[in-house]
Amino acid sequence: MNITEWTTALRYRPYHLWDKEYTKTLEEQVQQSTWRLDFHIQPKSGLLNDPNGFSYFNGQWHLFYQAFPYGPVHGLKSWFHLTSDNLVDWQAEGVKLEPSTKYDSHGVYSGTALPIGEELLLAYTGNVRDRDWNRLSYQMGALMNTQNQITKIEQPLIPAPPEGYTDHFRDPQVIPYQGGYLLIIGAQTVQEEGKVLVYQGDTYTNWQLLGELDYMPAQAGYMVECPNLVFIKEQPVLIFCPQGMAKEDFAYQNIYPNTFVVGEQFDVNNVTLTNPQPIQNLDEGFDLYASQVINAPDGRVLSVGWAGLPELTYPTDEQNWAHCLSLVKELSIKQNRLYQTQITELEVLRQKATPVAGELGALTPLVKENQQNRYELRLTFSPESHGKLHLFADAENKHPFTLHFDAKNGKITIDRSRVSRPLNEAFGTTRTITIDCKQELTFQIFVDQSICEIFVNDGLHVFTSRVFPEIDQTNLFVEGENGHFSGTHWQLRSTFS
């Protein structure tokens, strides 16, 4: 079966009605893709989007993602389960939460997980459509035991949006707080204003609405998706995705941004982040959304995001798969600024190390004979440096993904205007940030076949971008006018057998 038109009936066909031979053929086709990844989470077939249920439970890390296994489109969603001992090597456990009840008949939508005793609570949004295709939204729960067996809680945790809000009411986050629990959720008022609502409960089945969270002066568009409240050394950080936010209130280029606000304290009585800093981009690249962030039991604050964006198309759509997850990052606050750094566990991927160093000048290969787009690169540039780093380049550097850097004047731009497979150009082909001038500049870069994650100045800024090179586009070039550089290039192993 070759599907050329995804009708509503196909998108919402129950999983058990899909032909097994079709699924097998689909997975075989996907495996032939030259853009398959070597150390990022990706779907076996079909679509992956929001990360869900990120947690540590029963001696392992657990992570789910929203999945539609039958094509690169948004259809009947389920949760696909993965486990890991090190946050790097992930074992696929299969689809674990499927639409199966009257409260989630049209999709198991996004949510979070929280260990409670000997069980892992999975909180999610059940999506339902009535005969007239009107949306109904239920906040649901399920419990996973130590054998990774999941039982759904029969009745909704929250049976309906509160009065004054539409059924765009989704993505619950449950966290422990003051001996009980808080539930943070995205919502939309009947006036179509995006809000974050906060509930409180003494148990995970008994919730009382505290009200709308007050966290910034501007209106957050017409909907807020995937709100996560975490505490970094007791300082509250809200990470969220506003849809339709006015660009005069916040400058962004992606169709929808992934953002954060740092407050001084969380005032639960007044449902407020006190003295919030201005809203900022969590990621400055082309492709990151729906980040899920947790306070991990080892004291770290960890995040993972969807490397993709809603409502946009990508070259792998033609090969019947779409999207991946970002690497797991650690979040910290230094001098009242949010940093995102690569987790130390990623060092287990390192294989051959090659030192790199030189003076900036004419175009030159940074690493000779780089055979594939699977590497980690750390570079430090001197404070007067000004130049370009070209990734995913062919031998003649005709179609690179380019990183422009100007340490002297404090400016960094990523540019995918020349890549061989342009994508989503309506939202621009460059992203630019400003940094402190005349300071040493560092990049930690992870390249994995069709994704690039760039950490700037030890994680003060991060760029996540999808790039879809041809087979021969594995070269790295550097050029510039002033300054010098040094660093290390590591070949990385695959996490897939």
Quote the tokens at residue 13.
Answer: 């066909």
State residue 369's pLDDT score. Answer: 77
* DSSP 3-state percent helix, strand, coil across the chain (nearest 5): 5, 50, 40
Of 95, 10, 34, 3, nearest in space to 468 by CA: 34
- Asked if residue 329 lies in contact with residue 343, where contact means CB atoms within 8 angstroms, the answer is yes
- Asked if residue 108 lies in contact with residue 124, where contact means CB atoms within 8 angstroms, the answer is yes
State residue 370's pLDDT score. Answer: 81
Q: In Å, what is the CA distance from 46 to each residue of 66, 125, 211, 307?
A: 11, 21, 38, 15
- Residue-wise pLDDT for 443-490, tens only, equals 999 999 999 999 999 999 999 999 999 999 999 999 999 999 999 999
- Residue-wise pLDDT for 263-276, tens only, equals 999 999 999 999 99
**Separation of alpha carbons 331 and 303, rounded Å:** 7
β pairing state of 301-307 and 289-295: antiparallel
* 10: three-class secondary structure by DSSP: helix
Annotated catalytic residue within 19, 38, 50, 249: 50
**Separation of alpha carbons 286 and 465, rounded Å:** 5
394 noted as active-site residue? no
- Residue-wise pLDDT for 374-391, tens only, equals 999 999 999 999 999 999
**Separation of alpha carbons 215 and 193, rounded Å:** 14
Q: In Å, what is the CA distance from 329 to each residue of 91, 105, 360, 399?
A: 19, 34, 31, 29
**Separation of alpha carbons 54 and 297, rounded Å:** 12
State residue 497's pLDDT score. Answer: 66
State residue 371's pLDDT score. Answer: 83
Of 287, 288, 316, nearest in space to 429 by CA: 287
State residue 404's pLDDT score. Answer: 98
CA 427 from chain center: how many Å?
19
361 φ, ψ to 5°? -165, -135
Q: Residue 271: what residue type?
A: V
Residues with Cβ within 8 Å of 407's Cβ and at least 6 positions away in sequence, in order, are: 381, 382, 383, 384, 385, 386, 435, 437, 438, 439, 440, 441, 483
> What string of pLDDT tens digits covers the 497 residues of the chain?
578 899 999 999 999 999 999 999 999 999 999 999 999 999 999 999 999 999 999 999 999 999 999 999 999 999 999 999 999 999 999 999 999 999 999 999 999 999 999 999 999 999 999 999 999 999 999 999 999 999 999 999 999 999 999 999 999 999 999 999 999 999 999 999 999 999 999 999 999 999 999 999 999 999 999 999 999 999 999 999 999 999 999 999 999 999 999 999 999 999 999 999 999 999 999 999 999 999 999 999 999 999 999 999 999 999 999 999 999 999 999 999 999 999 999 999 999 999 999 999 999 999 987 889 999 999 999 999 999 999 999 999 999 999 999 999 999 999 999 999 999 999 999 999 999 999 999 999 999 999 999 999 999 999 999 999 999 999 999 999 999 999 999 999 999 86
State residue 287's pLDDT score. Answer: 98
356: Cα within 13 Å, side-chain hemisphere: 24
